[in-house]
Structure 1
Amino acid sequence: MWIANSYGKINLGLHVLEKLPTGYHRIETGFCFIEWNDRFEVTESKEYRLSVSEQSIPVDERNLITKAYRAFEQYVGLKKHYSFSVTKNIPAGAGLGGGSSNAALTFRFLNKLENAGLSNDELIDLSRSLGADIPFFIKGTPGIGTGLGQDIEPADIQPDAWIVCIWPGFESSTPQAYQNCIPNPEPDFSIRGVLLEEELDQWQYLLVNDLEPPVIARHQLIGNIKDQMIEFGSSYAAMSGSGSTVFGIFEQDFVAINAYESFHKLGFSANLTRPGFKPDYGIYLKD
């Protein structure tokens, strides 16, 4: 059996710059990792199988793990077949990239177990039709996302501070979030400039997520959690991606832990990420 973890992400700001003729949007955003992760166990089998701990998640062709498996099988080929067992901890529809992270790890698993020898860029080419966040998870480094979010410029933007993530308990629709957002091709500040040049205590004034207002208009609880995160003492708080997760960045450990525990006691799913966190991208053989 082979094992590995599939980590989530948050977006540090998100500018919606332009709606393209294809219906997609040109954006600018910062990607960094959080410790919230799903657990993969993979074994050889006679045919492809997928089991997921969360029963509400489909395991057929709608699942990004299955889509990634089929893409690899079609374009690269498989000498053997594999069974995937996934313990889901990252909430779905939460703006944390759980499905995209799962797809990226599926590509990486098959590349390793099949000794295919594909580069990250080749794996990214396989993934482009499946999801905009997948290239970030294949690369495995924080960075600035542009274009559709698929063009990643590696950048040292993983916060050297504590990150508290709170899931409000419901999904947020990505298409609806973009549909209700008016693109702004000339924002006052570039996300790249803010993340690379400004101190954390300035982010609250300069770093914005354009999808936040339309989503909070539909889901007031997201705005309430953000306000509470600020009251708990976060240096910066925002919604991640198209929601629904809200995160706060804290410079002091005891302040972050107090916020985490307070939300947890209220019944929210919560996660705490350490300063300078680096995900373990190893795929390990378990006896």
Structure 2
Amino acid sequence: MIAFPNAKINLGLFITEKRPDGFHNLESVFVPVGWTDVLEILPAAETRFESSGIPIPGDPSTNLCLRAYGLLAADFDLPPVYMHLHKVVPIGAGLGGGSSDAAFVLKMLNDLFSLGLPGEPLEAYARLLGSDCAFFIRNEVKFCYGKGDEFSEISINLAGKSILLVNPEIHISTAEAYAGVRPKPSGVDWSRIAASPVGEWKQWLRNDFEDSLFPKYPALPALKEALYAGGALYASMSGSGSTVYGIYEGDAPAGLFPGMKTWTGLF
């Protein structure tokens, strides 16, 4: 079985408070985008995980894909599997790529072994793996709050729009990003955002991580400015960085960032 775990972007990202458990509450709209990894899972004589493409840091035995398998294997006595992940989505880039890979493992195992788990139980497993993981179970535009693992409906109209993602290959860890954050209420009327044209979003939306990361990494604000100069209706850093994106009417411009890792596509 082969699947294509996709990335996501954040429309606005407000860190609203620090929780007693050490995590942070946030408000954001998560939007799936079509930049994908490639994941294959097959029955095997023993459970193995291998990867290709972008090198994945850390011990392969602790990879989120194996942890996702372990959660379901413990409860459903799954047989061994072979997993191969071809990594394409940049790592430490604010796109949720690793979380998506893990969530897709849960969904693929559910299908491969006919476990019959609906969305909510799969989301519960995903929450054990990381704050972003649960979003990728349903993989739809959602208003996200709590740790980023609680959702409600929101209607965002991106019909006819395209996106240009630019990754300067700066790795920013979650710990580094949160170290510079000063939580505060968002003050955002999300229903107003949903009803407003994309070109007006910059009046109200912000990514709180930009305040501390832009001075530290000058390439990031330069990318944002270049996206606006290239005609973006709205531009922002995604997640905790370092990917910066622009949303355009019609097709996104080509050739703006030669030599950088980019992806373009329609919503």
Give your verdict on TM over 0.5. yes
* Residue of structure 2 in register with 1:164 after alignment: 164
Per the alignment, do residues 139 and 49 of structure 1 end up closer, same or farther by CA in structure 2, a change over 3 Å counting?
A: same
SS in structure 2 at match of 1:137: helix
Does 1:61 pair with 2:55? no
The amino acid of 2:137's aligned partner reads I
Per the alignment, do residues 167 and 155 of structure 1 end up closer, same or farther by CA in structure 2, a change over 3 Å counting?
A: same
The amino acid of 2:265's aligned partner reads T
Deviation at 1:248, TM superposition (A): 0.2
* Distance in 2 of aligned mates of 1:65 and 1:135: 14
Does 1:204 pair with 2:198? no
Q: How does 1:162-241 map to 2 (within 5 A)?
A: 162-185=162-185, 187-190=186-189, 192-241=190-239
Q: How does 1:245-284 map to 2 (within 5 A)?
A: 245-253=243-251, 256-258=252-254, 261-263=255-257, 265=258, 267-274=259-266, 277=267
Q: When the two structures are superposed, what TM-score results if normalisation uses the length of structure 1? A: 0.88
Q: Deviations over 1:177-225 (max 9, x none)?
A: 112111112x3323x2343121111111111111111111221111111
The amino acid of 1:176's aligned partner reads E
Are the equivalent residues in 1 in contact too, given 2:230–2:253 (CA < 8 A)? no
Q: When the two structures are superposed, what TM-score results if normalisation uses the length of structure 2? A: 0.95
Q: Deviations over 1:44-94 (max 9, x none)?
A: 11111111113631462331111111111123321x221111111100110
* Distance in 2 of aligned mates of 1:221 and 1:207: 21
Are the equivalent residues in 1 in contact too, given 2:55–2:87 (CA < 8 A)? no
Q: How does 1:119-158 map to 2 (within 5 A)?
A: 119-157=118-156
List runs of 5+ in structure 1 lacking aligned partners.
278-287
The amino acid of 1:257's aligned partner reads P
* Residue of structure 2 in register with 1:82 after alignment: 81
* Distance in 2 of aligned mates of 1:141 and 1:201: 22
* Distance in 1 of aligned mates of 2:215 and 2:165: 20
Are the equivalent residues in 2 in contact too, given 1:163–1:247 (CA < 8 A)? yes
Deviation at 1:152, TM superposition (A): 1.4
SS in structure 2 at match of 1:134: coil
Q: How does 1:18-97 map to 2 (within 5 A)?
A: 18-54=17-53, 56-57=55-56, 58=58, 60-78=60-78, 80-97=79-96
* Distance in 2 of aligned mates of 1:157 and 1:70: 36
* Residue of structure 2 in register with 1:14 after alignment: 13
* Residue of structure 2 in register with 1:280 after alignment: none
Are the equivalent residues in 1 in contact too, given 2:54–2:88 (CA < 8 A)? no
List runs of 5+ in structure 2 lacking aligned partners.
none
SS in structure 2 at match of 1:257: coil
* Distance in 2 of aligned mates of 1:193 and 1:68: 35
Per the alignment, do residues 59 and 38 of structure 1 end up closer, same or farther by CA in structure 2, a change over 3 Å counting?
A: farther
The amino acid of 1:63's aligned partner reads N
* Distance in 2 of aligned mates of 1:114 and 1:158: 36
* Distance in 2 of aligned mates of 1:231 and 1:124: 40
Are the equivalent residues in 2 in contact too, given 1:194–1:206 (CA < 8 A)? no
* Distance in 1 of aligned mates of 2:197 and 2:51: 41
Deviation at 1:24, TM superposition (A): 0.5
Deviation at 1:11, TM superposition (A): 0.4
Identity of aligned residues (%): 34
